[in-house]
Structure 1
Amino acid sequence: MTVTTPYGPRTGTGPVVMRLEQVSRWFGNVVAVNDVSMTIGPGVTGLLGPNGAGKSTLIHLMSGFLPPSSGTVTVDGEPTWHNENIYRRIGLVPEREAMYEGISGWDFVLANARLHRLPDPKAAATRAIETVDMQSAAARDVAGYSKGMKQRIKMATALVHDPDVLLLDEPFNGMDPRQRLQLMDLMTELGANGRVVLFSSHILEEVEQIAGGIEVMVAGRHAASGDFREIRRLMTERPHQYTIRSSDDRALAAALIADGSTSGVELGVQAGSAVLNVQASDYHRFARRLPVFARERGIRLYEVTPADESLEKVFSYLVNR
């Protein structure tokens, strides 16, 4: 897949905004999405949650494939359900491989270009196929494609009409490491060019690398929103863990133990050098008092590193609390 996309900055006036307001969706007695409100602007956003959390249902609601049982889903104020104008602004890469396998990749992408009534469907299809680096396999039937190739041709169909909003459900499934990196580059560039790019994924490392923000779904509900580091800082009910390197770990440890902001202080060794492992029970007080203690005692702080501020740990906490 090419790293540089021919899809330049979007031409619309003003930033595109997708908004969900008190959205619920139920199937009989099963509530798949429960009273979800979120606002998603330009850039790359990761949609996280365990299996059964409602991620795919939410993406189908956003794309206009499902009507909300209650609430509204809009793009720039226009509803996504039963709105032909909005369908032209949204591209969808579904997780399921419901594809016409008896036709070639080229015909599949070209058919989507024609469905959107593009002025030059062949040029649009060529551009989309080149963007996902599928030129050499475009003439082959989709039935003979590998999982990763099917993912890339689905990406081409979603891009063919140059949408303002790109929704991807587990887009990295079946891709090899090189293809995943190239898709990540493509998504990053599309987001940087003013498009809304929202994707679900269970590969937290990749979400951490490219998502400017995350939306977390747990049991059909919206559990958290924003940059995952900021979400971690807002978790005041959970102790924060830090690794500290200083010029006098013992003196600093004694001061922290005597202070009410910590619930655990331990001297340790990391990468061959002494460290102080601290569990801060009162994050805000700890952040204020640490530099004061160091200054009063003439201690130099070489490093203060959060030990639990990774997306994996944030996600695990939100899911299990």
Structure 2
Amino acid sequence: MTTPLTVDLRGVSRWYGNVVAVNDITMSLGAGVTGLLGPNGAGKTTLLHMMAGFLAPSKGEVLLGGNPTWRNPDVYRDLGLVAERESVPAHLTGWEFVHASAKLHGLADPAGAARRALELVEMTEAAGRRLGTYSKGMRQRARVAASLVHDPAVLLLDEPFNGMDPRQRAHMMELLHSLGDQGRTILFSSHILEEVEQVSGTVQVIVNGRLAASGDFRKIRRLMTHRPHVFVIRSTDDRRLATALIASPAVTGVSLGAEELTVHAGDYGTFTRALPKVALAEGIRVRQLVPSDESLESVFAYLVSA
């Protein structure tokens, strides 16, 4: 297991002239995989660049393991970064590119480290080819290998799945899960909801440069008490169950379909506790209960519109 390191942002802002890119963000990232989510232009890349020490915060501080990232080259012993902007020397082979990264880190066995990193991203067979001949997805994997070559405790990835085909994407998601389970602190940014939902349940949502929500997106959804929760139910008698539920104070509306019952409830916990009691009293067997708006998409749409 890797010794966990935290990334802490305390009241961080960054502005360019009169344009505020990041506005007063405080967050703490620990071991595991966290998704940094937001629409294009929300400030995700600026935030990652400050975490990586490429940008100074205009206000506040960014710390890695308790040490500032700005003007502190020592943080790169523990930090790996895959930036969104792709800039690789096309004349180098995949092996030369990753091996050079290992040598720049001053590793005792750069060749061994490069070999292990290429194996992690399934690029061993293509390692002898020049980067200029790679597909975009292959270049992405080579860049991930270069960022992992020194076995960092913290990994920052900006839109890491760009250009990857479905198989490559699935493998990279599995790799990030595995690295997070080993105790690494991993933050990856994306504007694609499906990517974040598959890789991490924990999110930091950035909207217009501000931190709009933080934590498990399912828990965030359940804290939205003023927005009705929607459930799809299948039972032995949907019509009679609908009649019984509409009388419950936990239910704000019902809709009866051909094969299912849709219920709107004001509070998640109150409804899920009330449903078994109502079904038992009516002698109805509930076959399926599915929250239909607990997805990250539902949370994200609400936060952006708000």
CA distance in 2, matches of 1:185, 1:176: 14
Match of 2:283 in 1: 298
CA contact (8 A) 1:263 1:280 kept: yes
1:60 shift after superposition: 0.9
CA contact (8 A) 2:40 2:191 kept: no
CA contact (8 A) 1:43 1:212 kept: no
1:284 shift after superposition: 4.2
CA distance in 1, matches of 2:96, 2:263: 60
1:31 shift after superposition: 0.8
1:173 partner SS: coil
Query: How do 1:57-206 and structure 2 match up within 5 A?
Result: 57-206=46-195
| 1:219 maps to amino acid | N
CA contact (8 A) 1:113 1:124 kept: yes
Match of 1:30 in 2: 19
Match of 1:6 in 2: none
1:320 shift after superposition: 1.9
> Larger deviation: 245-254 or 59-68?
245-254
2:99 partner SS: helix
Match of 1:20 in 2: 9
Match of 2:296 in 1: 311
Unaligned runs of 5+ in 2: none
Deviation by residue 1:15-67 (Cα, 9 ceiling, x = unmatched)? 32211111111111111111111111111111111101111111111111111
Corresponding position: 1:276 with 2:261: yes
Deviation by residue 1:257-306 (Cα, 9 ceiling, x = unmatched)? 2333333211112xxxx321111134444334333323333333332210
| 1:42 maps to amino acid | A
> Larger deviation: 225-234 or 129-138?
129-138
1:137 partner SS: coil
Match of 1:243 in 2: 232
CA contact (8 A) 1:64 1:87 kept: no
Task: Give the TM-score of the pair, scaled to structure 2.
Answer: 0.93
Aligned-residue CA RMSD (Å):
1.8
CA distance in 2, matches of 1:174, 1:114: 28
CA distance in 2, matches of 1:117, 1:175: 30
| 1:314 maps to amino acid | V
CA distance in 2, matches of 1:26, 1:100: 31
1:100 shift after superposition: 2.3
CA contact (8 A) 1:214 1:225 kept: yes
CA distance in 2, matches of 1:138, 1:285: 57
CA distance in 2, matches of 1:171, 1:148: 9
CA distance in 2, matches of 1:103, 1:298: 71
Q: Report the CA distance shift for 1:282/1:138 in structure 2 as closer, same or farther (over 3 A).
A: closer
CA contact (8 A) 2:49 2:55 kept: yes
Match of 1:4 in 2: none
Query: Equivalent pairs: percent with the same residue?
Result: 59
Task: Give the TM-score of the pair, scaled to structure 1.
Answer: 0.89
Match of 2:247 in 1: 258
CA distance in 1, matches of 2:287, 2:48: 45
1:135 partner SS: coil
CA distance in 2, matches of 1:178, 1:255: 47
1:223 partner SS: strand
1:229 shift after superposition: 1.3
Unaligned runs of 5+ in 1: 1-8
CA distance in 1, matches of 2:263, 2:201: 29
| 2:105 maps to amino acid | H
Q: Report the CA distance shift for 1:298/1:136 in structure 2 as closer, same or farther (over 3 A).
A: closer
